[in-house]
Structures are given as structure tokens and as C-alpha cells.
């Protein structure tokens, strides 16, 4: 009986280890949901927390960039399903409706975010950096 339970536990463990991509995809969905919430209702600093540390080392976030994002309110965020286009790489496009808090003008932009799987950290990182929302690209 104990041997049978041990074999069943080992089989379940091997099955779980045999398909790491499935857990990576689940984590991608969870990360994208959290990111959408941060973009929609959060602060620019919350968005920065998603950015790949390697990207931040090459291209640090400037206070100017954060201030520019603070001048925008997100009125809508409609994301397409993510596309995994290479091992450990994913892309997601989203239509973002923005309101400038100073002028109260509304416009829409398409944000294409690139994501990188980090097996060491066991998480997805935003590899495309801060959103630029089209005309506000640097």
C-alpha cells in the first residue's frame, strides 16, 4: 500500500515536472492580469515593478518618464490574448484609452508589450520597458 502511494506520488511529480510550459503559461496569464490592473488603476511605479531588471540596467526609468505617465489616466484597457512566439518570449497587444489630466482630451493608443520568462526567478518580466503609448515615445 505504501509503495503504491509512493509510486502514484512519483508519477504525479514527474507529470508536473514534465510540462513546465503549462505552469509558465498560467503564470503568464496571471502576470498579464496583474499588469493590466497596474496600468488601469495603479501608479507608474507599480508598472516599473514589472520591468525586466536587465532592461532597467540598460535603460533606467527617468523621473521625466514617470511624470509623463502621471499626466495620463487610463479610461480603458482591452488586451488581446498573449502570443508566445519563441521559447520564453511572449507578446501582447492592448488598446489603451487615455485621458490627459491637464487637457481632458481622450485618445487611444496601441501598446505592444514584450515579455520574457525568467526560470531563475520563476516569473515573467516586461522586456519592452515602460509603455510609450504611440506619440509619446521617446
pLDDT tens for each residue of 78-91:
999 999 999 999 99
Mean of the pLDDT values across residues 113-133?
Answer: 95
pLDDT single digits (tens) 46-98 = 999 999 999 999 999 999 999 999 999 999 999 999 999 999 999 999 999 99
User: b vs e for 95-124, b when ≥16 Cβ sit within 10 Å of the residue's Cβ?
Assistant: ebebbeeeeeeeeebebebbbbbeeeeebb
Q: Is 10 a domain residue?
A: no
Q: Is 15 a domain residue?
A: no
Q: Is 75 a domain residue?
A: yes
Tell me what pLDDT residue 11 has. 40
Q: Is 1 a domain residue?
A: no
Q: Is 102 a domain residue?
A: yes
- Rounded to whole angstroms, the Cα distance separating 119 from 121 reads 6
Question: What does pLDDT average to over the chain?
Answer: 86
Percent of the chain clearing pLDDT 90 (strictly above): 79
Q: Is 7 a domain residue?
A: no
Tell me what pLDDT residue 133 has. 77
Tell me what pLDDT residue 20 has. 45
Tell me what pLDDT residue 134 has. 55
pLDDT at position 138 over 70:
no
Tell me what pLDDT residue 76 has. 96
Q: Is 137 a domain residue?
A: no
- Domain count of the chain? 1
Question: What CATH number does the domain containing 49 carry?
Answer: 3.10.450.50
Domain that holds residue 118: 20-131
Q: How many CA atoms lie within 13 Å of 89's alpha carbon, on the beta-carbon side? A: 6
- Cα angle value 105/111/113 (rounded, 5°): 150
Amino acid at each position: 500500500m505504501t509503495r503504491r502511494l509512493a509510486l502514484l506520488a512519483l508519477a504525479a511529480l514527474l507529470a508536473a515536472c514534465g510540462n513546465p510550459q503549462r505552469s509558465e503559461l498560467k503564470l503568464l496569464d496571471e502576470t498579464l492580469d496583474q499588469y493590466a490592473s497596474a496600468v488601469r488603476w495603479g501608479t507608474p511605479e507599480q508598472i516599473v515593478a514589472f520591468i525586466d531588471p536587465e532592461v532597467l540596467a540598460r535603460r533606467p526609468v527617468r523621473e521625466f518618464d514617470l511624470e509623463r505617465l502621471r499626466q495620463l489616466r487610463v479610461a480603458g484597457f482591452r488586451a488581446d490574448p498573449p502570443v508566445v512566439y519563441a521559447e520564453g518570449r511572449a507578446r501582447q497587444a492592448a488598446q489603451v484609452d487615455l485621458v490627459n489630466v491637464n487637457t481632458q482630451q481622450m485618445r487611444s493608443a496601441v501598446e505592444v508589450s514584450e515579455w520574457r520568462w525568467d526560470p531563475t526567478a520563476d516569473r515573467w518580466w516586461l522586456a519592452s520597458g515602460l509603455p510609450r503609448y504611440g506619440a509619446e515615445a521617446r
